[in-house]
């Protein structure tokens, strides 16, 4: 067991000190590209500034005979590209049991470690996988003379990884976040789906037959498709919140179904995720829209903050009770809007245009206790 005092010491002589907080940079959209695909790679420099994260993918979706080309392609792109202040560079390396991952890590940290913000590790099964990567990265960072640590993001793609999710999140100060890997996870769990994320028409609940109807089989009864990923995402969100790291949805493979993609992203956003992946350019705007709070929600949250004054007690606003806890939810929205405004001028303009929350005195009534809190 590591002592708490040791947790923030570098794991190799000369490696940079671990971070104590995940840097607060927007990561609503993590855009995947295959660096071995020349057409795709050529587009990457012009995408800087249009997405929060550009991720050079080396793992699944890159053909086995293109693994080296993808690694070298990513090095070339990273060296030639200025990613600016607002776009991070991440990579997804090959799985820890694959023949490629050691060279992925050694090459990338040595060659472009100063440009890489986060390394995504697929198929993480437990804290031991993170410990392995943690020490190796420290050695490579020391050798490369890096001044800041590269962070680690784990993908949950196995039942064992899910069962160990809290330990994975707390395994290292390098942990930046978690994403859902719905395709591998479904296979590992023996779920009977064949898709990459999203729902399934067979996973549903059916309305009861109307009262007094004897023939339930032929009665007209509505069905409602359910979210296959609710439990998994909710567990991920709690594990991340507990350890101060960030949860993300993951891939939505039905590129043409932009409506269902938006729904799946929004479910994840509402449950607490901070971002998602885009696999195709068409998903970028969807992700940015969904993971930025709406102008209406920001306006409402500001009104509640204003109405709650010192933040204690309870008030009535538009017929609804607001108190310390609803204020905290509103502060999540307001703080997110403020953070996004600092790097996204369009959002800054949008949020500046909405009312600043001046709660109408007629709308606000002190319903209990602290009179000062309503003013």
Ligand X SMILES: CC(C)(COP(=O)(O)OP(=O)(O)OC[C@H]1O[C@@H](n2cnc3c(N)ncnc32)[C@H](O)[C@@H]1OP(=O)(O)O)[C@@H](O)C(=O)NCCC(=O)NCCSC(=O)C[C@](C)(O)C(=O)O
Give 86's contacts (C-beta < 8 A, 6+ positions apart): 26, 49, 52, 343, 344
Structure token pair of residue 68: 């080296």
Question: What's the Cα-to-Cα distance from 21 to each of 2, 175, 243, 374, rounded to whole Å?
Answer: 19, 10, 10, 34
Q: Are 30 and 278 in contact (CB under 8 A)?
A: yes
- Is 123 or 300 the residue whose CB approaches Mg ion more closely? 123
Pairing outcome for strands 246-248 and 175-180: parallel
d(CA 13, CA 1) in angstroms, rounded, equals: 20
Q: Provide the edge-to-edge strand list for the sheet that holds 118-121.
A: 246-248, 175-180, 151-156, 118-121, 88-92, 53-57, 29-33, 276-278
Position among 35, 181, 293, 313 found at the interface with Mg ion (CB under 5 A): 181
33 binds, among Mg ion, ligand X, none (CB under 5 to 8 A by kind): ligand X
d(CA 287, CA 276) in angstroms, rounded, equals: 7
To the question of whether residue 157 is assigned a binding role by annotation, the answer is yes
39 binds, among ligand X, Mg ion, none (CB under 5 to 8 A by kind): ligand X
CB of 259 to ligand X, least distance (A): 17
Task: Give strand ranges (E) for 284-368.
Answer: 314-317, 320-323, 365-368
Chain positions contacting ligand X, by CB under 6 A? 32-34, 39-40, 43, 57, 60-61, 155, 157, 181-184, 196, 250-251, 255, 279-281
CB of 86 to Mg ion, least distance (A): 28
- Which of the residues 101 through 160 are near Mg ion (CB under 5 A)? 157
To the question of whether residue 167 is assigned a binding role by annotation, the answer is no
Query: Quick count: other Cβ atoms within 10 Å of Cβ 278?
Result: 27
CB of 53 to ligand X, least distance (A): 12
- Is 56 or 309 the residue whose CB approaches ligand X more closely? 56
CB of 292 to ligand X, least distance (A): 21
CB of 179 to Mg ion, least distance (A): 10
Pairing outcome for strands 53-57 and 88-92: parallel
280 binds, among Mg ion, ligand X, none (CB under 5 to 8 A by kind): ligand X
Q: Are 62 and 97 in contact (CB under 8 A)?
A: no
Q: Are 228 and 253 in contact (CB under 8 A)?
A: no
- Is 60 or 166 the residue whose CB approaches ligand X more closely? 60
Which residue of the chain is nearest Mg ion when measured via CB?
Answer: 184
249 binds, among ligand X, Mg ion, none (CB under 5 to 8 A by kind): none
CB of 181 to Mg ion, least distance (A): 4
Pairing outcome for strands 365-368 and 320-323: unpaired
- Is 113 or 251 the residue whose CB approaches ligand X more closely? 251
17 binds, among Mg ion, ligand X, none (CB under 5 to 8 A by kind): none
- Is 191 or 255 the residue whose CB approaches ligand X more closely? 255
Q: Which of 354, 375, 353, 356 is nearest to 364 (CA)?
A: 375
111 binds, among ligand X, Mg ion, none (CB under 5 to 8 A by kind): none
- Is 114 or 285 the residue whose CB approaches ligand X more closely? 285
Q: Which of 292, 299, 306, 301 is nearest to 342 (CA)?
A: 292
Position among 34, 104, 184, 344 found at the interface with Mg ion (CB under 5 A): 184
Task: Find the Cα–Cα–Cα–Cα dihedral 356, 361, 365, 366, rounded to 10°.
Answer: 80
To the question of whether residue 195 is assigned a binding role by annotation, the answer is no
Binding site for Mg ion (CB under 5 A): 157, 181, 184
Residues annotated within the binding site for substrate are 92, 157
């Amino acid at each position: 067991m590591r002592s708490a005092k040791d947790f923030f010491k570098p794991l190799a002589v000369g490696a940079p000190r671990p971070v104590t907080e995940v840097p607060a940079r927007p990561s609503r959209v993590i855009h995947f590209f295959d660096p071995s695909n020349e057409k795709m790679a050529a587009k990457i420099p012009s995408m800087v500034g249009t997405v929060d994260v550009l991720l050079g993918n080396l793992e699944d979706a890159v053909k086995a005979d293109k693994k080296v080309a993808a690694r070298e392609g990513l090095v070339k792109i990273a060296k030639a590209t200025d990613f600016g202040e607002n776009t991070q560079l991440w990579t997804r390396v090959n799985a820890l049991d694959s023949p490629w991952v050691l060279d992925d890590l050694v090459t990338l940290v040595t060659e472009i470690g100063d440009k890489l913000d986060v390394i995504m590790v697929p198929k993480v099964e437990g804290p031991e996988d993170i410990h392995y990567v943690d020490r190796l990265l420290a050695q490579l960072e020391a050798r490369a003379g890096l001044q800041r640590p590269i962070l680690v993001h784990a993908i949950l793609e196995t039942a064992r990884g899910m069962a160990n999710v809290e330990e994975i999140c707390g395994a290292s100060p390098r942990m930046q976040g978690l994403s859902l890997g719905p395709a591998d996870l479904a296979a590992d769990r023996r779920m009977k789906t064949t898709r990459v994320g999203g729902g399934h028409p067979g996973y549903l609940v059916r309305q009861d037959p109307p009262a007094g109807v004897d023939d339930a089989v032929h009665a007209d009864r509505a069905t409602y498709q359910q979210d296959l990923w609710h439990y998994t995402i909710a567990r991920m969100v709690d594990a991340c919140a507990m350890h101060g790291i960030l949860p993300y949805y993951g891939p939505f493979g039905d590129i043409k179904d932009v409506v269902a993609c938006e729904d799946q992203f929004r479910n994840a956003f509402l449950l607490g995720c901070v971002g998602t992946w885009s696999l195709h350019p068409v998903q970028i705007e969807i992700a940015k829209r969904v993971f930025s709070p709406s102008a209406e929600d920001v306006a409402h949250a500001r009104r509640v903050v204003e109405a709650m004054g010192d933040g204690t007690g309870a008030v009535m606003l538009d017929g609804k009770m607001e108190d310390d806890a609803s204020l905290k939810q509103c502060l999540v929205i307001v703080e997110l809007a403020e953070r996004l405004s600092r790097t996204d001028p369009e959002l800054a303009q949008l949020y500046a245009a909405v009312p600043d929350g001046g709660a109408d005195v007629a709308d606000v009534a002190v319903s209990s206790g602290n009179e000062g809190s309503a003013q």
